[in-house]
Amino acid sequence: MPELPDIVVYMEALEKRINGQTLERVRLASPFLLRTADPPLRAVEGKRVRKLRRIGKRIAIGVQDDLWLVLHLMIAGRLHWRERGVKVSRPRGLAAFDFPNGSLLLTEAGSKKRASLHVVAGEAGLKKLDPGGLEVLGSNLESFAAALTAENHTLKRSLTDPRTFSGIGNAYSDEILFEAQLSPVALTQKLKPDEIKRLFDTTRATLTRWVELLREQTGDGFPEKVTAFRPEMTVHGRYKEPCVRCGAPIQRIRYADNETNYCAKCQTGGRLLADRGLSRLMRSDWPKTLDELEALTVR
């Protein structure tokens, strides 16, 4: 799922292309994409784009008369800048937004169509779509600590909960926790003050670094290679690969459509975190340490 760094770069590319342009037409290839009926979709056609705004992982495009198109790309949704009038080809093509200078094409890979488009009016309409998570890059340590410890959850859950923190998802939470050398299953209300500060500093530094890197890679073009797995990442998507810090194999926890990647040596004191699916099968045979895992591998 595109997260804060990806969305920021998407928005910067859109600012250059559609801000001040007239949205001539919206072409829907999938009726399930549109999740609202009032205001009607046709109400935004012929209106000039006035501003763009990020709401968590959503992209909000504001047009005249204080109307907003709000896109949530979910896991597999992606944006592309194409020639005006580009064909919207199913099954991946969901919609096209036509402007005088080109078309913004929305696609979604896979059979589970989760991306969404809302048309809302004014700040009240936007507020209903805002999960309310803290914007870490605009916060201070005190507000970060308050949000983090408001409830007692694992660090992984808290970082990825849009009601707690804005724009952080599965991929960048792995990178943040690795850099902070904290376990993904550590409980938020049990963290020491110095650990909270380290997490705060690392979260800001990691998000800023990735925004700058993606911005540099995109240049003046449009971000076409938006992915949750990038070669520059240290742990996310690197299961079994050597840790860049200590050389130990990267581990993972799998659940539903997501997985958490971590270094046991750097983050959990060498303790392996039980994978729900595999550990349920192995029960007491599930290894508890890297040494035990290595012994199983050698057999």
Q: What is the pLDDT of residues 4-56, one digit of tens each?
A: 999 999 999 999 999 999 999 999 998 899 999 999 999 999 999 999 999 99
Question: Could you give the CA distance from residue 299 to residue 290 in angstroms, rounded to a whole number?
Answer: 15
DSSP element (H, E) containing 70? strand 67-72
In contact, 70 and 78? CB cutoff 8 Å: no
Question: Could you give the CA distance from residue 226 to residue 231 in angstroms, rounded to a whole number?
Answer: 12
Strands 102-108 and 77-82, sheet pairing:
antiparallel
Q: Provide the residue type at 164 as one letter.
A: T
Q: Any alpha helices (H) in the chain, and if so which ranges?
A: 4-18, 122-129, 141-148, 155-160, 170-180, 193-218, 264-267, 276-282, 290-298
Output the six-digit token pair for 224: 């076409």
Question: Which residue is associated with the tokens 């709000």?
Answer: 70
Q: Is the pLDDT of residue 277 over 70?
A: no
In contact, 17 and 81? CB cutoff 8 Å: yes
Strands 102-108 and 47-55, sheet pairing:
unpaired
Q: What is the pLDDT of residue 185?
A: 92
This prediction has a pTM of 0.90
Domains, the chain, with CATH or none = 4-129 (3.20.190.10), 136-298 (1.10.8.50)
In contact, 153 and 189? CB cutoff 8 Å: no
In contact, 26 and 41? CB cutoff 8 Å: yes
Q: What is the pLDDT of residue 274?
A: 76
